[in-house]
Structure 1
Amino acid sequence: MDEPTLSNTPPVQLRLKHAEYFLSQYRLHCGPPVDAYWLMVGYFDAYLFSLATVWDMSHPEARKKLETIGVFRFFKALRNVAAHHSILAAGVSENKFPRPFSREVNVSAGGPQNGSSRLLFRLDILRQILYAVEAERPHEKKNIEVACSYISELEACGVKVYLEDIMEEAIHAVERAIPLT
């Protein structure tokens, strides 16, 4: 995006464009050919910030619509955890909470690489983290309740929940809910 376009882009649209960019970069660094876990962690954190601040940049009517989107509230809760408590995507020893992800690495023997390194949500651990945050920060109760409800929806699907799939779902949900042009 060139500077004149950037200067004329509404803040909500700019934040969502950033979230889309960080998702694309996250995917690029899942491999192959590049498997860069450090960059995956950074792009995930940047995505959380960009997506969650769509709410901050929105007018009150749009905020009401965003508050009805479970996947958006889920990521907003994750952003709050990442901002105040732990680096979620990294197993850093001094994190307040355990990492709520598992890393799935596909290995190929002999031939070209055919898989990637992907992060899976550990929904049980994530729920425990959110409840611990709620105990410390009761004013976040409503957002955490919605996030935990979304976790229940994911669990009911009975399939592996990959980080980038849910990131993309959130972007599309926001685009459908609020006008961006």
Structure 2
Amino acid sequence: MGNIVNRVFDSSGPEGKVRGTPQQIIEKYNQLARDAQLSNDRVAAENFQQHAEHYLRMLAEATREQDTRREEQERHNRERQAERDRERSGRQDRDNTSAPDPATAPQPDVIDTGDSDGDSGLVETPEAAKPRARKPRARKPKPESQPTEAKAETPAETPAEPKAEKPAKAEPSAEAKTPDAAE
């Protein structure tokens, strides 16, 4: 039957079409029935009440079906939760029987690790090691293919000449800057 509660209907009543959800149509027909009673038209009032009753029955049936589906869904959810709870407790029972309780399990003997012989059993890290003096590296001998005189002339072995300092530029005096100051 679908979701009738929120579905929009077009009702062809005695005085034209009425459009809306079942609840809106019921309210509209009830209002038309009151108006007909106030105008002393008992036949029209009865007709409007019958139309309202039709939609009231439709709405009641749809609501009843929704309630039934909701209860069935809740019952199904409760069953699934109960099944999960049974599985969980079964798993816990298996885990408790297969693994001993750590509180009741035998504990290993405690070993005294006092520094009686000075060895703590720890490995020395590079950061904690004492710095060692480095040995100078042995240099590879250069091949003697060049004569010794040529060797002395290589730029790497000649002493570097000191750079001559450039004389600092003399800044003009304040009197030289302004020509009017001399006058």
Of structures 1 and 2, the larger Rg is shown by: 2
Q: Is the pair's TM-score, using the shorter chain for normalization, greater than 0.5?
A: no
Higher relative contact order (CA 8 A, sep 6+): 1
- Larger helix share, 1 or 2: 1
What TM-score, normalized by structure 1, do the two folds share?
0.23
